[in-house]
Structure 1
Amino acid sequence: MEFDKEFLDKLFKRAKENPRLRQNFDLRTSSADTSQHILCALLPGTKISIHRHEDTTETVICLCGKLDEVIYEEVVSYENGAEELPQGMDAQDVSRKVKYREIQRILLNPAEAKYGCQIPKGAWHTVEVIEPSVIFEAKDGAYK
């Protein structure tokens, strides 16, 4: 199989037809393959929730387009706004809030020789698409 301009154009066309403004192409050749490696066409405006992969790193290579991989840290606060559990309080008795603080933004843009990145295992992240892009993603383990 060749991944040429015609192939990517078809993937972009399917992404435009998809209400989520993205389209994956699974590169596995059998259901016995438990790795994850896909091509993903992403259009500006697509929303990808902040998420993490607890058991694997994620490799992202940008074939075309321009996007930011955004890395976050999880910030837990309690009902009084403190980032630590109030002394003498049981965690079950206190309202816990989780927010995400941006700690790194990685531009992927092959036209600027910024081809890809590796997202550490367990890192919270998302993607912000600047212009129509196709990425290759690889992770260990079966898709859940």
Structure 2
Amino acid sequence: MEFDKEFLGKLFEQAMGSPRLCHNYDLRTSPDDTNQRMLNILLPGTEVPVHRHEDTTEIVICLCGKLDEVIYEEVVSYESSAIELPQSMDAWNVFRKVEYREVQRIRLNPADAKYGCQIPRGVWHTIEVIEPSVIFETKDGVYRQ
């Protein structure tokens, strides 16, 4: 299989027809493959929730386009409030509040010789697409939805 301009052009067409403005092309040889690898076609406006991979490092290589890989740290705070429990028992209920603070932004742009990055296991991250882009992404483990 060759990843040429014509092949990527077809993938861009599929991304343009998607409500999420992206398209994933699975490069695994079987659903049981223990290494996830894919081409992600991403258009400006694509939204990827802040997430992490608890069991694996992720490698991202930008084949074309421009995007930022954004790294976050998790900030946890607690709020408490009095609630009334059955049988007139009083107690304090503690609510956990989680926010994410940006700590690093890695620009991927092959035109500027900035080709890719490695995201360590367990690190919170997302992407911001600046111009139509194709990335090759790989991580260990069988794909789980």
Where does residue 97 of structure 2 map in the other structure? 97
Task: After TM superposition, list the pairs within 5 Å mapping 1:8-47 onto structure 2.
Answer: 8-47=8-47
- Structure with max Cα Rg: 2
Where does residue 125 of structure 1 map in the other structure? 125
Letter in 1 for 2:65: G
State the Cα distance separating 1:29 from its structure 2 match: 1.5
Where does residue 85 of structure 2 map in the other structure? none
State whether residues 58 and 139 of structure 2, in contact with CA within 8 Å, keep that contact through their aligned partners in structure 1.
Answer: yes
State whether residues 24 and 38 of structure 2, in contact with CA within 8 Å, keep that contact through their aligned partners in structure 1.
Answer: yes
Question: Distance in 1 between the 2:107 and 2:7 partners?
Answer: 24
Where does residue 58 of structure 2 map in the other structure? 58
Identical columns (%) = 74
Where does residue 77 of structure 1 map in the other structure? 77
Q: Deviations over 1:68-102 (max 9, x none)?
A: 0000000001127xxxxxxxxxxx83111000000
Question: Distance in 2 between the 1:75 and 1:53 partners?
Answer: 17
Letter in 1 for 2:30: S
Question: Distance in 2 between the 1:143 and 1:123 partners?
Answer: 18
Larger mean CA deviation between 43-52 and 28-37 belongs to 28-37
Question: So what's the TM-score if we normalise by structure 2?
Answer: 0.89
- Count of matched residue positions in the alignment of Structure 1 and Structure 2: 133
Where does residue 138 of structure 2 map in the other structure? 138
Question: Distance in 2 between the 1:71 and 1:108 partners?
Answer: 13
Question: Distance in 1 between the 2:109 and 2:65 partners?
Answer: 6
Q: Secondary structure at the match of 2:63?
A: strand
CA RMSD of aligned residues (A): 1.1
State the Cα distance separating 1:32 from its structure 2 match: 3.0
Return 5+ residue gaps in structure 1 as ranges: 81-91
Question: Distance in 2 between the 1:72 and 1:60 partners?
Answer: 16
Letter in 1 for 2:48: I
State whether residues 52 and 122 of structure 2, in contact with CA within 8 Å, keep that contact through their aligned partners in structure 1.
Answer: yes
The structure with the greater share of residues assigned to strand is 2
Letter in 2 for 1:19: P
Question: Distance in 1 between the 2:32 and 2:125 partners?
Answer: 28
Where does residue 7 of structure 1 map in the other structure? 7
Where does residue 113 of structure 1 map in the other structure? 113
